[in-house]
A = this chain, B = another copy of it.
Amino acid sequence: MDNKFVYLFSEGNAEMKNLLGGKGANLAEMTNLGIPVPQGFTITTEACTKYYEDGEVISNVIVEQIMQALAKTEEITGKKFGDFNNPLLVSVRSGARASMPGMMDTILNLGLNDKTVEGVAKLTGNERFAYDSYRRFIQMFSDVAIDIEKRKFENILEEIKELKGVQYDTELDSEDLKKVVQRYKELFLKEMGKEFPQDPKEQLMDAVKAVFKSWNNPRAIVYRRLNDIPSSWGTAVNVQSMVFGNMGDNSGTGVAFTRDPATGEKIIFGEYLINAQGEDVVAGIRTPQPITKLEKELPECYREFMSIANRLEAHYKDMQDMEFTIEQGKLYFLQTRNGKRTAPAALKIAVNLVEEGVLTKEEALLKVEPKQLDTLLHPAFDADELKKAVPIAKGLPASPGAACGKVYFTAQDAKEKHEKGEKVVLVRLETSPEDIEGMVAAEGILTGRGGMTSHAAVVARGMGTCCVAGCGEIKIDEENKVFIANGVTYKEGDYISLDGSTGNVYGTAIKTVAPEITGYFGTFMAWADEIRKLKVRTNADTPRDAKQAIGFGAEGIGLCRTEHMFFDEARIPAVREMIVSENEEQRRKALAKLLPMQREDFIGIYEVMEYRPVTIRFLDPPLHEFLPTEEEDIQDLAKEMGISFEHLKSTIESLHEFNPMMGHRGCRLTVSYPEIAEMQTRAVIEAAIKVKKDKGYNIVPEIMIPLVGEVKELKYVKDIVVKTANEIIASEGIDLKYLVGTMIEIPRAALTADDIAKEAEFFSFGTNDLTQMTFGFSRDDAGKFLNSYYEKNIYESDPFQKLDQTGVGKLVEMAVKLGKSARENIKLGICGEHGGDPSSVEFCHNVGLNYVSCSPFRVPIARLAAAQAQIRNPR
């Protein structure tokens, strides 16, 4: 039996979203509810998939089903395709499973031709309208379905306006528009070598094909990637008979929300225009009226509208976003859907709907997109000022929020100016750990190179600082302290503004407003915390970050990177002294200088964390990261350290690596220099003892060994840690517990996790590195080719942002199983960037991890995602 690829609206329902798309399912649902909807049919998402499988061809089966549905639609509406007296005109719109506003194509007024245009003129009594619709249809159809450049049509329109000496389209009369139509058809003939299709059925099939095709247009691919929508879903196509809101003063059109989408307040919110079509609202020539005015103008219609709106909200149990048209006093609903809303509105609506008894807490928790919470925690631009601003460039939205300040090109300058009270934006080709102080001082960070997981991006997200990364459009000249965007030069001290949520860069100062966190946030997040099973920790290296994360609900630290502390100005000399040491004795001397500083760091963190768990990762990066690379800097450092330039240079050269990511780092450093782990253990344990004695907090430090690939490697390091720790504990005569565990970030560690669990008391999945090794590409280099991969639909999302469940996830699952088989109660967490990504959090819940850890500003996202995961898949 052939599949059913086409459904009349009366044949579907809201449950069939996967097949009919969101719009189609809702049109069907409204039809079933008896709500007046212009009738039509939906071509399914499966038809779209089949279209691609068949090599971009619409198979005969589908064509036949479309023709049958069309015939029935003619029957239902009493109108006919191509009929002069009563022509059926339709809109053809895409409608995917998930809403993708503006991403795909729409064609209105399909069915118009040289004959029906006259029919419409007669029917509406408005010849100008009929010809304007026709010329728009030709233009839209040619652009969307045939791919003739829009510009060429615009040029014709301009010419005609010039000839007539007018400025606006509206100043053209029906005779002018007839000329336009004539010229358009000539253009079509010239471009395509055939006449503009007069057969509405031919028009229809071309339009359907165009919608299918638009599923893979570049902006749709990008949108899908940003919104986790698989390309395999495909789009449905809705063919709906047109109704006209411009048939006189008892006609009109409008859009409305059942609640205020900006605030969430429970009032009808929307606007309409009498005697107008949808486009006129957008065109902005006439000012639409607030929806409440309709009560006076067309009270009957208003009452019906309100009654249906309330019914729809109650039916869908959510705020609705509706489009309607009134054709000669008769109200039609063209669309309803759950309305987009701001984050504060989303929270208020969710909480209110529970209070109103409409939703359970669980249902309410599922109504809010976790990623949306992000905007609650960061500054935003003043909306009015933003409207007037035009971006000068666009980079990657690496860390959300809005920032405005004076441009500085070195960390040093940024820091100094910040200390003098200036608001600064740090602009760098790319940042390195040495820039950390400048990054802390900056309102925002802009880099010319690097991706969403570049150093700048990761650190900025950790600090909650706005960051636009990899902005290749601007040319940064660090030496001369200028950058050029669009031909304009911006110098040190000039104001710019960054939008970290869109990646936009503005060449002027735009006022920012602080985030507003309402009581609804607290209520809502408390429900999430009640329900979720997955703990949420944070990645934090400083007391400041730790404190912020606790404010956002973090329940511990899942990753405290000790190397970030090494870059501090006060300690880097000792770190460097350690690195250039020629023997253990020298190295121990240098380490002894670091010990008290590192101990102080941990004391600070423990004091903030109080009773909460803290996982501390031992030194991870390759040592050359701590040394300069430029000849001049080496010269300076040699002088500073009192060693010869040649010696220092040859040390730096000997540390050079071909692939530093796969080099001498992580626990490999400890295998070479066990004394580093001794020092770090000493700092961790002595700090815990001090805080226990001084404050009475029962700290249980979790010491995490990075980059383990083999159990003997872990055992070697663990033996050093345990010996050192136990000696200190014994000599202090105090009772202190601690754990020793490992990162699982090397594929071999996951593959041999049963062996490794014999030594490891906990696993923390380092999914950044695990992703790199499993895919075999470095996140620093992948930016160069991943775009081709997205364009060609090979990858649909950035595996560094959204955990690849097929490959990397398989390793994680394997490691969880093997780990538990060897140590039943092994503590399992994740500390890669993925710990703050909702779909990845859900995966972590499903495979049975104990916690996720993410940067402070993503903690609320993770909390909500964890609750949603528990609701969807209770454990």
Contacts and interface: CB of A to CB of B under 8 A. Distances in A.
A774 B776 contact: no
A480 interface: no
A617 to B, nearest CB: 16
Given A746-B775, A751-B811, A794-B712, A660 B659 contact: yes
Interface string A772-786: 111111101110110
B781 A776 contact: no
A86 interface: no
A776 B811 CA distance: 14
Nearest to A622: B781
Interface in A707-764: 707, 709-710, 712-713, 716, 745-748, 751-752, 755
B662 A785 contact: no
Nearest to A808: B748
Interface stretch (A74-82, A486-494, A664-672): A664-672
Given A709-B807, A747-B747, A773-B773, A785 B659 contact: no
Contacts of A793: 712
Given A710-B794, A716-B792, A662 B661 contact: yes
- Most chain-B Cβ atoms within 10 A of its Cβ — which of A671, A781, A808? A781
Nearest to A472: B654
Q: How many copies does the complex hold?
A: 2
B716 A781 contact: no
B778 A657 contact: yes
Interface string A791-802: 011110000000
A788 interface: yes
A589 interface: no
A776 B807 contact: no
Contact of A661 (B659, B664, B794): B659
A672 B785 contact: yes
A631 B785 CA distance: 27
Interface in A308-365: none
Contacts of A773: 747, 773-774, 776
B775 A658 contact: no
A776 B746 contact: yes
A744 to B, nearest CB: 11
Nearest to A771: B748
B671 A792 contact: yes
A788 B658 contact: no
A515 interface: no
A785 B707 CA distance: 14
A789 interface: yes
Contacts of A716: 792, 794
Contacts of A745: 776
B772 A747 contact: no
A806 interface: yes
A810 interface: yes
Interface string A653-697: 000011111111000100110000000000000000000000000
A91 to B, nearest CB: 34
B671 A789 contact: yes
Given A748-B807, A773-B747, A811-B751, A785 B712 contact: no
Contacts of A811: 747, 751
Contacts of A808: 748
A579 to B, nearest CB: 14
Contact of A663 (B709, B747, B777, B794): B777
Interface in A394-418: none
Contacts of A660: 658-659, 781
A769 interface: yes
A658 B658 contact: no
Contacts of A746: 774-776
Given A671-B788, A811-B747, A781 B712 contact: no
A55 to B, nearest CB: 11
Nearest to A670: B788
Contacts of A780: 657-659
B785 A668 contact: yes
A775 B709 contact: yes
A658 B808 CA distance: 22
Contacts of A663: 777-778, 781-782, 784
Nearest to A714: B794
A712 B260 CA distance: 44
Contact of A751 (B769, B781, B794, B807): B807
Contacts of A755: 806
Nearest to A786: B668
A781 B665 CA distance: 11
Contacts of A707: 776
Contacts of A788: 671-672
B769 A776 contact: yes
A243 to B, nearest CB: 43
A783 B776 CA distance: 20
A792 B671 CA distance: 8
Contacts of A747: 747, 773-774, 776, 807, 811
Contacts of A664: 781, 784-785
- Most chain-B Cβ atoms within 10 A of its Cβ — which of A755, A785, A807? A807
B769 A709 contact: no
A778 B622 CA distance: 13
A650 to B, nearest CB: 11
Nearest to A807: B748
A433 to B, nearest CB: 14
B772 A662 contact: yes
Contacts of A748: 774-776, 804, 807-808
A176 to B, nearest CB: 43
A503 to B, nearest CB: 21
Given A661-B662, A713-B789, A747-B811, A671 B778 contact: no
Nearest to A811: B751
Contacts of A710: 794-795, 807
A779 to B, nearest CB: 9
A745 B795 CA distance: 19
Nearest to A669: B785
A91 B497 CA distance: 84
A53 to B, nearest CB: 13
Given A773-B773, A774-B747, A810-B751, A794 B713 contact: yes
Nearest to A715: B794
A659 B773 CA distance: 12
A832 to B, nearest CB: 14
Contacts of A792: 671, 716
Contacts of A804: 748
Contacts of A776: 662, 707, 709, 745-748, 769, 773
A511 B504 CA distance: 72
Given A707-B776, A776-B773, A806 B752 contact: yes
A712 B804 CA distance: 14
A191 to B, nearest CB: 24
A606 to B, nearest CB: 31
A254 to B, nearest CB: 44
B658 A778 contact: yes
Nearest to A810: B751
B781 A657 contact: yes
A664 B785 CA distance: 7
Nearest to A806: B752
B807 A752 contact: yes
Contacts of A810: 751-752
Nearest to A707: B776
Nearest to A661: B659
Contact of A662 (B713, B778, B789, B795): B778
Interface string A562-573: 000000000000
9 contacts: A659-B778, A663-B777, A663-B781, A671-B785, A710-B807, A713-B789, A716-B794, A748-B808, A773-B776
Given A663-B782, A671-B788, A713-B794, 5 more contacts: A659-B661, A747-B747, A747-B811, A751-B806, A751-B811
Nearest first, the 10 closest Cβ-Cβ pairs linking A and B are A748-B807, A659-B778, A662-B778, A746-B776, A663-B781, A658-B780, A659-B659, A747-B747, A659-B661, A712-B794
